[in-house]
Structure 1
């Protein structure tokens, strides 16, 4: 089963605390997940100030600079992993280096149910 591990941290603390992970450590962990056949995809994200939020309401598109909500922690990256179950996904998530300074949200990926014509 696929799980998305969303990495949340305060951007202003992500790289400034003594226990903060550095890029080589994150790369090494991702490489270990690749070697185990567990990592499907993963990326760090640019700062939240570069975000654009898109909403469609009553047929009108509203584009807003910035994140969707004011929070103390921002989405800073993700790991898409393959795990047998939630317990294994949690074990993978606890090894993600930024967990030491932020949090990792683990969510199962819902496969879209499509009919034969490709519609939902």
Structure 2
């Protein structure tokens, strides 16, 4: 999984939006061409998030992300790569890495865990 941090590309109507959209779409097309693209989406801002915890049977819902952090998780790509090195290479090709950072993290395989596709 490629986790996209600290990247705030231009929004629709802002200068540079069309060019940024073209570059991101070209990147997604390249991932599809290579046969590794599974899913990818931007995320809404943290102010739209809710964090849910359950302790001693009580559910608590709080506004925003769980921890105060300077890191902003802005989106993700889920890839099906042959190797970790391939995922790192593809992360380096992502245009969003030029304005933020891309964390590359393997998805854990847990025996017996039901798998769900997006």
Equivalence for 1:98: 96
CA drift of 1:99 comes to: 0.8
Aligned length: 110
Residue number among 70, 76, 79 corresponding to 1:78 in the alignment: 76
Secondary structure (helix, strand or coil) at the match of 1:88 reads helix
CA drift of 1:112 comes to: 2.7
Residue number among 2, 9, 17 corresponding to 1:5 in the alignment: 2
CA drift of 1:96 comes to: 1.3
The ranges of structure 1 where at least 4 consecutive aligned residues each deviate by more than 4 angstroms after the TM superposition are none
After superposition, the Cα gap between the structure-2 partners of 1:31 and 1:10, relative to the gap in structure 1 and judged at 3 Å, is: closer
- Give a deviation string over 1:36-94, Cα, whole Å, max 9, x none: 10111100111111111111122211111111222222100000011121111100111
CA drift of 1:24 comes to: 2.1
Equivalence for 1:60: 58
Query: 5+ unaligned residues in a row in structure 1: which ranges?
Result: none
Distance 1:113 1:77 in 2: 27
Distance 1:99 1:91 in 2: 12
Output the TM-score relative to the length of structure 1. 0.79
Q: Are the equivalent residues in 1 in contact too, given 2:47–2:64 (CA < 8 A)?
A: yes
Aligned-pair Cα RMSD in Å: 2.4
Secondary structure (helix, strand or coil) at the match of 1:22 reads helix
